[in-house]
């Protein structure tokens, strides 16, 4: 049987997704048995022009990781879409925007300012920041345009499947590879992960949930053997799609939400906020003053970073207003 | 199935059409997809108006109906039932409010009309996605629990028992009877039908503890209290703590709350010198009446046993007093004070009796006449709230202003009687939570649950009787007990109830078992169900669920949806409302 053609690409991402593929261990041999890797910038020496030269839809499967934050990312998304039969948003950045997406709380100028000008380890007296075009003696140098707003892959091109996670758990990757190999993929648009939330895979015992205060992990002296939410720690598990075997919980750390929203949920952060506000301070609710309620809520340090750590670009409200 | 939407715009006899161009709205609606009929029938809620719509349904012309008119809180049952009779499922009938929300709040006709169009459009988009409502049959236990063995509770229990429903009666005290059994008369008017020869206890019209104890259909639990209750209408499991702390669990279909009231504590108004021996509450005076009854020696003043020469009644103690008491009128105090004055006058014709009042509220049949009769007997009425009761050794002095003459008044009294009012009983809030009833701002039970837009009894199976629901006299408390028993019996007779499936549904494939929802349900309708060992998912009991939506908002996975308010339906409306018309 002829091998399937596989492409892997990284856009705005940390590189963890690439490592996750290598994490497959000996399963990587299956991958090479089934696939010919035709494009994978991190591993093989191949140029964009080679991809441009490929016939349309000649790549069987493309695992695209990273969000879209530059014109280069966007160009490659379009290019790989055209060249691939199946385009998979691989990992949280491509799926929901992830950490790079938190940049939607600021804009290009502010990002450049922090990175190139106003930070203690940078010396930049000429105040040079990246420009899309720079004239030098030898001619014109160009750089991709850096956008104000980070987007998910499916906000730019049509996406066939999603593999969630930051990075995707090995089990989900290997299940996806098996499904591809056996031509056993679910309907287009599916997320290749279980339907239920992280709680479903979590080891902790759970009981009634009515909580009085919120604590950060370091404020809890000893983690008890019960649901972290019940101990006052914000755990995004209930609002997050499982498939990770609740590994963070295994290590007594709360879920921070990288699996993205659950099937019927339009907005992961909103769902969690709604759930948390349903159980926070419900006892004695009637006696509470506005100030009491405010001070309860003020215990959530960094709300966007807590509830939208991985999903800001795909949320209902997906960025700070630009003006 | 095709979607043939009929839109009917009501002009409400000009109420709507004076600010909304109903014809324009109708033309607009008629141009929307899948709308086959759009009309402005005159006065929709009239027989003619309804007939027109029913005809469209019956001839198969329309199979979904949108009514744009007054608030959906009005005539909802009328419309639903009429359309249902014509063969329309309840789920396919919707309302939009263009009267209160458009005509009555806008002056500008253009604005009101545009808004009405938007609302109609959102209704059409919702109607396209609506699903039929199914009726579900759920258990209705044929036993009842009455809490409180006062006149209201006893009368309810006796009526239930008479109708063949086994009834538990839980009374906190050591005996039945409640407050009425510590008063000497049942609003003694000549025309009330209650003769007043006897104590209330012996009166023919009062339900008797003995009758209750002997009834084989009533299980009386004295010195007992309800500890907790789980469940919902038709199926409550109630734990009751008996005399020596023994616990007993019973299962009932309905509950009647008849826990009565608590008398106002006059020590809260120090100016009235309640700590003085000769200052008594009306209830304490009743006790003196009862004590002297066998010997007929009349009332003596407590400090020295002398026959009082002067007695002053102070009305509205703790009632109609926003500063030191409660804002409401306790309804019975004027009448019982007049009755007590009459009894005293009969015992001691020489005694000078003054009633200090704000207004005399001699409502109920026969009381105005009764008031006049007592006036003719020489009982004085002095208008003006008493400022102070001063202590002068054994005697007392009343300081007030006669608000009719405007004169300041200082009178001596051998005895002072405080006509105390009623307050909600201690356990009211706890029981309300247990049986899903709401309290009003005054702390008595509310007749209507505000968050349930329908009869609270139907959804909770918990009925109210007597003073638990607010101040009333003995007669009306007894009548209340009978009404509650009748309604509860009606509900239990069939042994099942039909409920609409307008409720929360858990998608079992999505429930992550976080248990956030379980303890939040105000109606205890969410249970855990093991799907495999150690894995229990949330499951909503349709019999208990009222569709309030609390769990749906809390469920972080989106596993819980409200069957008639699914997200797509709401998004469709938001989309419709956010487009230009
Ligand atoms: C000073 C005064 C004088 C009055 N005089 C007259 C009069 O002359 N004529 C007249 O018609 N009306 C009079 N009334 C009004 C009369 O008392 C009431 O109308 C009547 O008692 C109401 O009956 P009920 O059954 O609703 O409540 P109650 O008589 O209060 O009975 C309630 C019963 O429930 C029990 N109970 C309470 N909580 C619980 C619980 N959690 N669990 C179990 N049991 C519980 C109580 O022990 C009590 O037995 C007077 C009221 C006052 C305050
Ligand atoms: S909330 Fe977190 S700790 Fe609690 S059960 Fe869910 S994943 Fe586990
Ligand atoms: S909140 Fe949602 S996920 Fe959690 S138990 Fe309830 S239904 Fe299941
Ligand atoms: S909608 Fe949910 S919270 Fe409300 S009554 Fe039903 S199950 Fe309970």
Q: Which residues in chain B (497-516) have CB-CB distances under 8 A to chain A?
A: 507, 509-516
Tens digits of residue pLDDT in B327-354: 999 999 998 899 899 989 989 999 999 9
Q: Is the pLDDT of residue B496 over 50?
A: yes
Q: How many CB atoms lie within 10 A of CB A239?
A: 35
Tens digits of residue pLDDT in B281-332: 999 998 898 888 788 889 999 999 999 999 999 999 999 999 999 999 999 9
Query: CA-to-CA distance for A98 and A13, rounded, in angstroms?
Result: 9
Torsion of CA A239, A243, A245, A248, to 10 degrees: -50
What integer is the mean pLDDT of A224-247?
Answer: 96
Spell out which residues of chain A touch residue B557, defining contact as CB-CB under 8 Å. Answer: 196-197, 238-239, 262-265, 271
Contact B424, B442 (CB under 8 A): yes
Task: Using DSSP, state whether A161 is helix, strand or coil.
Answer: strand
By C-alpha distance, which of A153, A157, A143 is closest to A71? A143
Instruction: State the alpha helices, DSSP H only, in B104-232.
Output: 109-129, 151-162, 209-214
Radius of gyration, alpha carbons of chain A = 22
Q: Is the pLDDT of residue A181 over 60?
A: yes
Tabulate helix, strand, coil % of chain A (nearest 5). Answer: 35, 15, 45
pLDDT at position A79: 98
Tens digits of residue pLDDT in A237-270: 999 999 999 999 999 999 999 999 999 999 999 9
Query: CA-to-CA distance for B555 and A196, rounded, in angstroms?
Result: 12
Contact B194, B475 (CB under 8 A): yes
Q: Which of B430, B439, B441, B516 to probe by mutation at the A interface, max A CB count within 10 Å?
A: B516
- What lines the ligand 1 site, CB under 6 Å? B 147-153, 170-173, 178-180, 183, 185-187, 225-226, 258-261, 263, 282-283, 332, 336, 339, 420, 422, 425, 427, 466-467, 472-475, 477
pLDDT at position B41: 86
Query: CA-to-CA distance for A42 and A61, rounded, in angstroms?
Result: 17
What integer is the mean pLDDT of B231-257?
Answer: 94
Q: Is the pLDDT of residue B198 over 70?
A: no
Q: Is the pLDDT of residue B27 over 70?
A: yes
- Counts of helices then strands in chain A (DSSP H, E): 12, 9
Contact B33, B50 (CB under 8 A): no
Q: Is the pLDDT of residue B31 over 90?
A: yes
Query: CA-to-CA distance for B410 and B56, rounded, in angstroms?
Result: 77
What residue has token string 């009761």? B389
pTM for this prediction = 0.75
Specify the residue with its C-alpha closest to ligand 2, atom 5.
A199
Specify the residue with its C-alpha closest to ligand 1, atom 26.
B466
Spell out which residues of chain B touch residue A262, defining contact as CB-CB under 8 Å. Answer: 510, 512, 556-559
Spell out which residues of chain A touch residue B513, defining contact as CB-CB under 8 Å. Answer: 196, 199-200, 206
ipTM for the predicted complex comes to: 0.90
Q: Is the pLDDT of residue B78 over 90?
A: no
> Is residue B546 in contact with ligand 4, taking CB distance under 6 Å?
yes
Strands A4-10 and A35-39: parallel
Contact call for A278 and B554, based on CB within 8 A: yes
Query: CA-to-CA distance for B457 and B445, rounded, in angstroms?
Result: 12
pLDDT at position B192: 41
**Does B67 lie at the interface with A, CB-CB under 8 angstroms?**
no
Q: Is the pLDDT of residue B186 over 60?
A: no
Query: CA-to-CA distance for A195 and A131, rounded, in angstroms?
Result: 44
Query: CA-to-CA distance for B200 and B215, rounded, in angstroms?
Result: 21
Query: CA-to-CA distance for B480 and B465, rounded, in angstroms?
Result: 5
Strands A146-151 and A68-70: antiparallel
pLDDT at position B451: 55
> Is residue B138 in contact with ligand 3, taking CB distance under 6 Å?
no
> ω into residue A167 within 30 of 0, thus cis?
yes
Q: What is the largest CA-CA distance in chain A?
A: 74
Contact call for B509 and A282, based on CB within 8 A: no
Query: CA-to-CA distance for B255 and B143, rounded, in angstroms?
Result: 9
**Does A200 lie at the interface with B, CB-CB under 8 angstroms?**
yes
By C-alpha distance, which of B276, B280, B241 is closest to B263? B280
Contact B383, B404 (CB under 8 A): yes
User: Best substitution site from A237, A247, A251 to test ligand 2's pocket, by max atoms within 8 Å of Cβ?
Assistant: A237
pLDDT at position B188: 52
Query: CA-to-CA distance for B448 and B451, rounded, in angstroms?
Result: 9
Q: Running DSSP on this structure, what letter comes out for residue B134?
A: P
pLDDT at position B517: 95
Tens digits of residue pLDDT in B505-548: 999 999 999 999 998 998 888 999 998 888 999 999 888 888 88
Sign of the Cα torsion B521, B524, B525, B530 reads positive
> Cα angle vertex B170, ends B167, B174, to 5°?
135
pLDDT classification of A21: cutoffs 50, 70, 90: very high
**Does B300 lie at the interface with A, CB-CB under 8 angstroms?**
no
Lowest mean per-residue pLDDT among A83-97, A169-183, B73-87, B412-426: B73-87
Contact call for A262 and B558, based on CB within 8 A: yes
Contact B177, B206 (CB under 8 A): no
- Inter-chain contacts counted by CB atoms under 8 A, chains A and B: 89
> Nearest C-alpha of chain B: how many angstroms from A265?
5
Contact call for A208 and B555, based on CB within 8 A: no
Query: CA-to-CA distance for A72 and A144, rounded, in angstroms?
Result: 5
> Nearest C-alpha of chain B: how many angstroms from A220?
21
> Nearest C-alpha of chain B: how many angstroms from A27?
30
What integer is the mean pLDDT of B350-364?
Answer: 92
Query: CA-to-CA distance for B489 and B494, rounded, in angstroms?
Result: 9
Q: How far is CA B434 from CA A227, A313, B462, in A?
A: 28, 44, 10
Q: In whole angstroms, what separates CA B401 from the centre of its chain?
A: 38
pLDDT at position B453: 53
pLDDT at position B46: 86
Strands B310-317 and B352-357: parallel
> Is residue B560 in contact with ligand 3, taking CB distance under 6 Å?
yes
Q: Which residues in chain A (225-254) have CB-CB distances under 8 A to chain B?
A: 227, 229, 237-239, 242
User: Among the atoms of ligand 2, which is closest to the Cα of residue B512?
Assistant: 6
> Is residue B505 in contact with ligand 4, taking CB distance under 6 Å?
no
Instruction: State the alpha helices, DSSP H only, in B293-421.
Output: 333-347, 367-376
Identity of the residue in A197, A242, A274 whose CB atom sits nearest the CB atom of B554? A274
What integer is the mean pLDDT of A212-231?
Answer: 92
Six-digit token string for B408: 């300041």
Q: Which domains does chain A have, with CATH numbers?
A: 4-99+149-181 (3.40.50.700), 105-147 (no CATH), 198-314 (no CATH)
pLDDT classification of B163: cutoffs 50, 70, 90: very high
**Does B550 lie at the interface with A, CB-CB under 8 angstroms?**
yes
Query: CA-to-CA distance for B449 and B455, rounded, in angstroms?
Result: 8
Query: CA-to-CA distance for A122 and A125, rounded, in angstroms?
Result: 9
Q: Which domains does chain B have, with CATH numbers?
A: 5-133 (3.40.50), 143-260+425-497 (3.50.50.60), 266-423 (3.50.50.60), 501-563 (3.30.70.3270)
Specify the residue with its C-alpha closest to ligand 2, atom 4.
A227
Sign of the Cα torsion A175, A181, A187, A190 reads positive
Q: Is the pLDDT of residue B144 over 60?
A: yes
Q: Is the pLDDT of residue B193 over 60?
A: no
Query: CA-to-CA distance for A267 and A310, rounded, in angstroms?
Result: 11
Q: Which of A186, A193, A194, A197 to probe by mutation at the B interface, max B CB count within 10 Å?
A: A197
Q: Is the pLDDT of residue B402 over 60?
A: yes
> Cα angle vertex A148, ends A147, A153, to 5°?
60
Contact B126, B94 (CB under 8 A): yes
For residue A205, report the distance from its CA to the centre of ligand 3, in Å.
14
For residue B259, report the distance from its CA to the centre of ligand 1, in Å.
8
Tens digits of residue pLDDT in B432-465: 999 989 899 999 998 876 655 557 788 889 999 9
Tens digits of residue pLDDT in B111-137: 999 999 999 999 999 999 999 988 888
pLDDT at position A175: 95
Contact call for A197 and B555, based on CB within 8 A: no
What residue has token string 């709680």? A199
> Is residue A199 in contact with ligand 2, taking CB distance under 6 Å?
yes
Query: CA-to-CA distance for A229 and A220, rounded, in angstroms?
Result: 12
pLDDT at position B196: 47
pLDDT at position B134: 86
Q: Is the pLDDT of residue A224 over 50?
A: yes
Contact call for A199 and B514, based on CB within 8 A: yes
Query: CA-to-CA distance for B410 and A48, rounded, in angstroms?
Result: 106
Within 8 A by CB and 6+ apart from A53, the residues are none
Q: Is the pLDDT of residue A86 over 60?
A: yes
**Does A280 lie at the interface with B, CB-CB under 8 angstroms?**
no
By C-alpha distance, which of B82, B18, B69 is closest to B41? B69
Q: How far is CA B112 from CA A127, B109, B377, B581, in A?
A: 57, 5, 65, 13
Six-digit token string for B306: 């002398």
What integer is the mean pLDDT of B404-423?
Answer: 96
Identity of the residue in A198, A210, A262 whose CB atom sits nearest the CB atom of B510? A262
**Does A190 lie at the interface with B, CB-CB under 8 angstroms?**
no
pLDDT classification of A5: cutoffs 50, 70, 90: very high
Specify the residue with its C-alpha closest to ligand 3, atom 6.
B517
pLDDT at position B204: 66
pLDDT classification of B197: cutoffs 50, 70, 90: very low
Contact A4, A34 (CB under 8 A): yes
């Amino acid at each position: 049987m002829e091998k399937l053609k596989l492409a892997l690409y990284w856009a705005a991402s940390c590189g963890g997704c690439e490592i996750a593929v290598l994490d497959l261990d000996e399963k990587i041999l299956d991958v090479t048995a089934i696939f010919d890797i035709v494009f994978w910038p991190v591993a093989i020496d191949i140029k964009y022009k080679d991809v441009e030269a490929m016939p349309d839809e000649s790549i069987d499967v493309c695992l695209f990781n990273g969000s879209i934050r530059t014109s280069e990312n966007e160009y490659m998304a379009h290019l790989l879409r055209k060249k691939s039969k199946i385009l998979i948003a691989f990992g949280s950045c491509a799926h929901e925007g992830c950490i790079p997406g938190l940049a939607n709380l600021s804009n290009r100028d502010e990002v450049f300012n922090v990175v190139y000008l106003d930070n203690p380890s940078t010396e930049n007296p000429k105040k040079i920041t990246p420009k899309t075009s720079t004239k030098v003696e030898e001619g014109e140098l160009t750089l991709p345009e850096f956008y104000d707003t980070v987007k998910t892959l499916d906000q730019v091109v049509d996406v066939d499947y999603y593999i969630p996670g930051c990075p995707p758990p090995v089990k989900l990757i290997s299940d996806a590879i098996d499904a591809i190999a056996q031509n056993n993929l679910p309907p287009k648009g599916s997320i290749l992960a279980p339907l239920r939330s992280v709680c479903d895979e979590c080891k902790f015992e759970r009981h009634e949930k009515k909580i009085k205060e919120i604590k950060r992990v370091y404020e809890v002296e000893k983690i008890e053997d019960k649901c972290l939410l019940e101990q006052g720690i914000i755990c995004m598990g209930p609002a997050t799609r499982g498939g990770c075997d609740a590994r963070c919980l295994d290590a007594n750390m709360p879920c921070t939400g990288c699996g993205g929203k659950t099937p019927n949920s339009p907005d992961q952060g909103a769902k969690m906020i709604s759930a948390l506000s349903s159980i926070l301070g419900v006892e004695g609710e009637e006696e509470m003053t506005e100030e009491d309620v405010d001070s309860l809520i003020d215990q959530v340090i960094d709300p966007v970073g807590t509830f939208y750590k991985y999903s800001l670009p795909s949320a209902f409200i997906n960025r700070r207003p630009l003006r | 199935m095709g979607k043939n939407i009929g839109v009917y715009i009501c002009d409400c006899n000009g109420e709507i059409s004076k600010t909304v161009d109903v014809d324009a709205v109708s033309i607009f609606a008629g141009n929307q997809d899948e709308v086959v009929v759009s009309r402005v029938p005159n006065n929709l809620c009239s027989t003619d108006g309804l007939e027109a719509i029913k005809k469209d349904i019956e001839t198969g012309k329309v199979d979904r109906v949108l009514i744009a008119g007054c608030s959906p809180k009005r005539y909802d049952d009328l419309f639903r039932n009429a359309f249902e009779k014509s063969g329309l499922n309840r789920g396919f009938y919707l309302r939009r409010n263009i009267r209160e929300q458009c005509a009555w709040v806008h002056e500008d006709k253009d604005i009101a009309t545009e808004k009405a169009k938007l609302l109609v459009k959102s209704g059409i988009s919702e109607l396209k996605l609506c699903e039929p409502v199914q009726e579900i049959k759920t258990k209705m236990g044929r036993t009842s629990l009455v809490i409180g063995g006062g006149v209201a509770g006893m009368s309810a229990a006796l009526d239930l028992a008479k109708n063949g429903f086994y009834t538990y009666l839980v009374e906190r005290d050591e005996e039945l009877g409640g407050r009425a059994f510590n008063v000497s008369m049942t609003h003694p008017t000549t025309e009330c039908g209650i003769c007043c020869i006897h104590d209330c206890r012996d009166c023919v019209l009062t339900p008797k503890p003995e009758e209750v104890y002997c009834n084989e259909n009533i299980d009386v639990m004295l010195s007992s209290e309800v500890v907790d209750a789980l469940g919902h209408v038709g199926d409550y499991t109630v734990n009751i703590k008996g005399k020596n702390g023994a616990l007993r669990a019973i299962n009932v279909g309905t509950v009647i709350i008849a826990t009565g009231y608590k008398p106002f504590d006059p020590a809260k108004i120090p100016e009235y010198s309640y700590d003085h021996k000769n200052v008594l509450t009306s209830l304490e005076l009743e006790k003196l009446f009862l004590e002297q009854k066998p010997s007929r020696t009349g009332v003596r003043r407590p400090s020295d046993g002398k026959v009082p020469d002067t007695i002053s009644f102070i009305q509205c103690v703790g009632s109609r007093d926003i500063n030191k008491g409660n804002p409401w009128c306790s309804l019975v105090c004027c009448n019982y004070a007049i009755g007590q004055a009459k009894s005293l006058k009969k015992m001691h014709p020489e005694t000078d009796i003054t009633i200090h009042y704000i207004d005399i509220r001699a409502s109920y049949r026969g009381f105005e006449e009764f008031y006049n009769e007592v006036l003719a007997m020489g009982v004085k009425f002095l208008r003006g709230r008493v400022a102070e009761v001063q202590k002068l050794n054994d005697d007392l002095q009343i300081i007030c202003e006669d608000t009719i003459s405007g004169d300041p008044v200082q009178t001596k009294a051998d005895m002072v009687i405080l006509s105390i009012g009623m307050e909600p009983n201690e356990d009211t809030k706890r029981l309300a939570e247990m049986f899903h009833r709401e309290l009003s701002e005054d702390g008595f039970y509310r007749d209507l649950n505000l968050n349930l837009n329908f009869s609270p009894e139907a959804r909770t199976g918990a009925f109210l009787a007597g003073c638990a629901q607010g101040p009333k006299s003995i007669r009306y408390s007894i009548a209340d007990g009978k009404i509650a028993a009748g309604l509860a019996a009606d509900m239990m007779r069939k042994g099942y109830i039909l409920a609409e499936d307008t409720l929360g549904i858990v998608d079992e494939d999505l429930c992550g078992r976080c248990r956030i929802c379980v303890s939040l349900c105000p109606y205890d309708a969410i249970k855990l169900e093991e799907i495999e060992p150690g894995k229990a998912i949330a499951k909503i009991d349709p019999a208990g669920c009222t569709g309030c939506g609390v769990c749906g908002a809390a469920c972080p996975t989106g596993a819980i949806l409200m069957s008639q308010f699914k997200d797509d339906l709401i998004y469709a409306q938001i989309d419709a409302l956010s487009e230009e018309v």
